[in-house]
Amino acid sequence: MYLRDDEPVEVRHVQPYEAVKAYRCPGCDHEIQVGLGHKVVVPTDAADLRRHWHVGCWTQAEKRRKNARTQR
């Protein structure tokens, strides 16, 4: 996983009309199709590692990250 559980990130929502390019979602390794609203997740300290996620995939990843942090 490219993203550490405690990595601070900035999350932006991409509206359907803004989604003009297809991206591969790191959560499920499937394509995010053009015209589909999704999330852009940017590590605060590593903006070059920004990734596009399906909304549902990021929700899952967030939950997992939160759990990992509280178990420490």
First CA to last CA across the chain, in angstroms? 18
- The answer to the question of residue 61 lying near Zn ion (CB under 5 A) is no
When the beta carbons of 43 and 55 are compared against Zn ion, the nearer one is 55
Site size for Zn ion (CB under 5 A): 5
Pick out residues in 17-46 that bind Zn ion (CB under 5 A). 25, 27-28
The residues with which 40 forms a beta bridge, in sequence order, are 12, 52
| Chain position whose Cβ is nearest to Zn ion | 25
CA distance 47 to 34: 23
Q: How many residues does the chain have?
A: 72
Q: Give residues in contact with Zn ion (CB under 5 A).
A: 25, 27-28, 54, 57
